[in-house]
Chains A and B, each alone.
Chain A
Amino acid sequence: MIELHNVVKEYTNGKEVARVLKNVSFTISKGEFVAITGPSGSGKSTLMHILGALDIPTSGTYTLDGKDITSLSQEELARIRKSKIGFVFQAFHLLPRATVLRNVTLPLIYAGINREAREARAKQALLAAGLPEDHHLHLTNQLSGGQMQRVAIARALVNDPAIVLADEPTGNLDSKTGDLVLGTFQKLHDEGRTVILITHEPYVAEHAKRVLIIRDGELVEDRRNAHPRRQPESI
């Protein structure tokens, strides 16, 4: 499903070459719930960018869903993101002054899906993310942080992606709301989704079934979490 083999990422700044990722290799299968964690500056953000097809590795290979996407152009990467990846960001990144429903349908607009189909799918995704129907026509700037993140999760789900990639999804939320959002991810995993959480908080990482720890650009630990912390999925 996801296969990284000796992935290296280097950034050149003038004459200095910074090696942010050093020979990272791992495999994530379909339906796994994985947390990628590490201190800030460890390279986990860079890893997320590569996993999310926002960037390409300097060397090594990355295979997503059977397709080698190591050296695609920006345009080809955009198409991969459109069809295979759902992002959830720390800062939500919702369109203000637009309805919840519209925010969720946005990926389907770029995918060229017609209006009825995309609204039906958006409603389904919103319910799956735990936002009841009476909120669907609210403007996003009227929502609470937890509700906003649910909208963002629904938007990540709506194009039925191969992976849901969440970058510090609880970073902007209070701990109670954060727990509820983590519960939502657990529920998605229970339903068979592949979920990858990127977080620097060990507490958040404990909710996943598998934890990858990155330090100084290297994968230092790959551990199964036999008893993940459970959160109730409710609003």
Chain B
Amino acid sequence: MNISDLFEEIWLGVSSNKTRSGLTMLGIVIGIASVIAMLAVGEGSKAQIEANIQSIGSNLLMVQPGAQRGAGMTVSSGRGSSQTLTREDATALITLDGVSTASPEINSRQQIVAKGTNTNTSIVGTTPSYVETRNLTVDTGSFFTDAQVTSRAKVAVIGPTTQTDLFGEGVDSIGQKVRIKNMEFTIIGVTKAKGGSGFTNQDDMVFIPISTMSTYFTGNNFVGTITVKAIDQASMATAQTAITNTLLGRHKIADSTLADFSVLNQSDIASAASSATQTFTILLASIAGISLLVGGIGIMNMMLTTVTERTREIGLRQAIGAEKEEIVSQFLGEAILLTVLGGLIGIGLGFTISWGLNIFMGTSTKVAWSSVGLAFGVSAIIGLIFGYYPAKRAANLNPIQALKYE
């Protein structure tokens, strides 16, 4: 039998019962589409997290206070809970090997009130070096100066989103007064929109001098985080070591395992975030995988029915000289055609679903080509596996009995 004739036989076999073939295929279509869409959701959230981390700025190291630990105590309040870092620590880091700049930060969520409106946003107390550390650009006005930090000036630089929330679209807010915790601040600058969304939207922030924040809000000299910018990617490791050693010295800690701070680099943060999405993606994909398996069982069921129904036809084919291999090829081919066709439609549907999720639900999705290849391969293999038993059964029919089958 020629290959083209075999394909024709397969096509005629599948197309002779369109409703049934279509319904069987639907199982595979849904399975493949859900695998693709679910992987796209996982991939999309991963990409978004990566983008967020990138938007923070590159070559960054975060120094965070360690867990609070009393002498001999084993109860830990968790990372970042203690207050161990000071502005002086930040200053000491600037001159280290591999370090470009370092900025202390105190973060606090506060209600900010303008004339007639108010919003709740993130207040960051910092120093002018923040502009360089975080790659911030001031759009109108200017950032506060070191002198203003020294004098504990009540000035604020706001993000464009905050400006819109408080004053409306396109209003120049320079010189306007806002109140934070009943204290009046004068707006001296607005940052340029940076984009990015999720947990670190730098467009919705208010920056004030760290001294002002310490004096009026927190009442002590401790800082929340010190963000350090390394000179380049290559000097990250050098900088990290230097920071650790300097802070250990300053805090008079001999054993580095007892450090009251931790230095995280971007890849630490990224891997923590991506391991969370990984788990989530695996969960979604395995649910989708189960539906694919069910689709495969549907194929086997239908092929067994077909073989039984077409027993006489198989008997005839054997009588006119079809060899075992030719019967196997035909029925296996029918199963594979169904799954491959179902797979192709499923890929299309998967793309549509992930596009729809993106457009209508705002979920960020990204269809990875590897998942398309995987889905296609899996559907062909499902056809092969679930089609093999029915095809073998067809080929092993006894022609005499098959011809007499009622």
Docked-complex contact A82 and B2, CB < 8 angstroms: no
Docked-complex contact A107 and B320, CB < 8 angstroms: yes
Of the candidate stretches A62-70, A93-101, A183-191, the one touching chain B is A93-101
User: Any chain A CB within 8 A of the CB of B97?
Assistant: no
User: Any chain A CB within 8 A of the CB of B177?
Assistant: no
User: Any chain B CB within 8 A of the CB of A173?
Assistant: no
User: Any chain A CB within 8 A of the CB of B1?
Assistant: yes
Select one of B312, B316, B323 contacting A78, CB under 8 A.
B323
User: Any chain A CB within 8 A of the CB of B322?
Assistant: yes
Which 9 A-B pairs have CB atoms at the shortest separation, nearest pair first?
Answer: A82-B321, A93-B316, A107-B320, A81-B321, A78-B323, A109-B5, A110-B321, A87-B319, A110-B322
Please name all residues of chain A whose beta carbon is closer than 8 Å to the beta carbon of B315 when the two chains form the complex: 93
Docked-complex contact A75 and B323, CB < 8 angstroms: yes
Q: Report if A95-B313 is in contact (Cβ < 8 Å); known contacts: A78-B323, A107-B321, A112-B1.
A: yes
Q: Report if A75-B321 is in contact (Cβ < 8 Å); known contacts: A54-B399, A93-B315.
A: no
Inter-chain residue pair count (beta carbon < 8 A): 61
**Per-position binary interface string of chain A over residues 77-92, scored 1 when its CB falls under 8 Å from any chain B CB and 0 otherwise:** 0110111000101010
Output the least CB separation between B143 and chain A (Å): 80
Output the least CB separation between A41 and chain B (Å): 15
Output the least CB separation between B86 and chain A (Å): 86
User: Any chain B CB within 8 A of the CB of A178?
Assistant: no
Q: How many residues does chain B have at the interface if contact means C-beta atoms less than 8 Å apart?
A: 22
User: Any chain B CB within 8 A of the CB of A52?
Assistant: yes
User: Any chain A CB within 8 A of the CB of B393?
Assistant: no
User: Any chain A CB within 8 A of the CB of B257?
Assistant: no
Which B1-44 residues have a C-beta within 8 angstroms of A?
A: 1-2, 5, 9, 12, 16
Please name all residues of chain A whose beta carbon is closer than 8 Å to the beta carbon of B403 when the two chains form the complex: 89, 93
Docked-complex contact B400 and A110, CB < 8 angstroms: no
Q: Report if A54-B400 is in contact (Cβ < 8 Å); known contacts: A109-B5, A110-B1.
A: yes
- Chain B residue with the shortest CB-CB distance to A106: B320
Interface of A with B (CB < 8 Å)? 49, 52, 54-55, 74-75, 78-79, 81-83, 87, 89, 91, 93, 95, 97-98, 106-107, 109-112, 114, 155, 159
User: Any chain A CB within 8 A of the CB of B324?
Assistant: yes
Please name all residues of chain B whose beta carbon is closer than 8 Å to the beta carbon of A95 when the two chains form the complex: 313, 316
- Chain A residue with the shortest CB-CB distance to B5: A109
> Which of A81, A110, A114 has the most chain B CB within a 10 Å cutoff?
A110
Complex CA distance for A76 and B322, rounded to whole angstroms: 11
Docked-complex contact A78 and B1, CB < 8 angstroms: no
Please name all residues of chain B whose beta carbon is closer than 8 Å to the beta carbon of A107 when the two chains form the complex: 320-321
Please name all residues of chain A whose beta carbon is closer than 8 Å to the beta carbon of B323 when the two chains form the complex: 75, 78-79, 110
Complex CA distance for A83 and B16, rounded to whole angstroms: 29
Docked-complex contact B319 and A52, CB < 8 angstroms: yes
Complex CA distance for A55 and B398, rounded to whole angstroms: 10
Docked-complex contact B321 and A78, CB < 8 angstroms: yes
Please name all residues of chain B whose beta carbon is closer than 8 Å to the beta carbon of A82 when the two chains form the complex: 320-322
Docked-complex contact B5 and A93, CB < 8 angstroms: no
Docked-complex contact A74 and B324, CB < 8 angstroms: yes
**Per-position binary interface string of chain B over residues 319-347, scored 1 when its CB falls under 8 Å from any chain A CB and 0 otherwise:** 11111101000000000000000000000
Select one of B2, B5, B320, B324 contacting A75, CB under 8 A.
B324
Select one of B12, B322, B400 contacting A55, CB under 8 A.
B400
Q: List 7 A-B contacts (CB under 8 A).
A: A74-B324, A78-B322, A93-B316, A106-B320, A109-B1, A110-B1, A110-B317
Which B385-403 residues have a C-beta within 8 angstroms of A?
A: 399-400, 403
**Per-position binary interface string of chain B over residues 78-104, scored 1 when its CB falls under 8 Å from any chain A CB and 0 otherwise:** 000000000000000000000000000
- Chain A residue with the shortest CB-CB distance to B321: A82
Complex CA distance for A22 and B194, rounded to whole angstroms: 97
Docked-complex contact A87 and B2, CB < 8 angstroms: no
Please name all residues of chain A whose beta carbon is closer than 8 Å to the beta carbon of B312 when the two chains form the complex: 91, 93
Output the least CB separation between A90 and chain B (Å): 10
Docked-complex contact A81 and B320, CB < 8 angstroms: yes
- Chain A residue with the shortest CB-CB distance to B6: A109
Output the least CB separation between B324 and chain A (Å): 6
Select one of A49, A98, A110, A114 contacting B320, CB under 8 A.
A110
Complex CA distance for A54 and B321, rounded to whole angstroms: 10
- Chain A residue with the shortest CB-CB distance to B312: A93
- Chain A residue with the shortest CB-CB distance to B318: A78
**Per-position binary interface string of chain B over residues 376-387, scored 1 when its CB falls under 8 Å from any chain A CB and 0 otherwise:** 000000000000
Please name all residues of chain A whose beta carbon is closer than 8 Å to the beta carbon of B320 when the two chains form the complex: 81-82, 87, 106-107, 110, 155, 159
Complex CA distance for A106 and B400, rounded to whole angstroms: 19
Complex CA distance for A81 and B324, rounded to whole angstroms: 13
Please name all residues of chain A whose beta carbon is closer than 8 Å to the beta carbon of B316 when the two chains form the complex: 89, 93, 95
Please name all residues of chain A whose beta carbon is closer than 8 Å to the beta carbon of B2 when the two chains form the complex: 109, 112, 114
Q: Report if A81-B319 is in contact (Cβ < 8 Å); known contacts: A109-B1, A112-B2.
A: yes
Please name all residues of chain A whose beta carbon is closer than 8 Å to the beta carbon of B1 when the two chains form the complex: 109-110, 112
Given contacts A81-B321, A95-B316, A110-B322, 16 further A-B contacts (CB under 8 A): A52-B319, A54-B399, A82-B321, A93-B312, A93-B313, A93-B315, A93-B316, A93-B403, A106-B317, A106-B320, A107-B320, A109-B2, A110-B317, A110-B323, A112-B1, A159-B321
Which B301-318 residues have a C-beta within 8 angstroms of A?
A: 312-313, 315-318
